[in-house]
Structures are given as structure tokens and as C-alpha cells.
Amino acid sequence: MKAKNLRILVIRDGDEKVNISMPAISSKWIIDLMSDDILEKIQSQGIDIQGIQHRLNQTDEIMQQELFILTTREKSIRVWLE
């Protein structure tokens, strides 16, 4: 199914800190939407964020999908297309 929104949810110490929705087309610039420290954590967990962005840029239709989940001791970040 075609995605309408890029969603980002951040839970820190059990509390919802970020819950945002933006147009799905924003996912084509997902790396630019994140701070350098978050990008480092994503990459250190073996998540290929560059590959995700590249794959999203190779398609005209952005489909609903889970992009990644990053979990550390203090927070959980979920990024998906819906």
C-alpha cells in the first residue's frame, strides 16, 4: 500500500518524547532529518541508513514499511512509513 506519512516515535525512559508525522516524500532525505549523534548510533547498531535512503530514492512510489527500530538502554526510536 502506498505510504502517506513518515512517522518517527521516540520513547525515552518510558516516556514518549517525540511523535511526529510528515509527508512520506520526506523519507527520501531521511539522513538530513537526523542529528549526527543519532546517525552514529544508528550506524553503530548495524542499520544501513544510507542503504535505506538509497532504496527509497530508487522508487517513484513510496510504500508502507518499517524503516528501522533503534533501541538503546535509555531510548527507543521507531521510524516507519504509513
The domain spans of the chain are: 5-81
pLDDT in tens, 13-63: 999 999 999 999 999 999 999 889 889 989 999 999 999 999 999 999 999
How many residues can be counted in the chain?
82
pTM (2 d.p.): 0.91
Grid coordinates belonging to 71:
533501541
Q: How far apart are CA 58 and CA 35, in angstroms?
A: 24
CB 9 within 8 A of CB 15: no
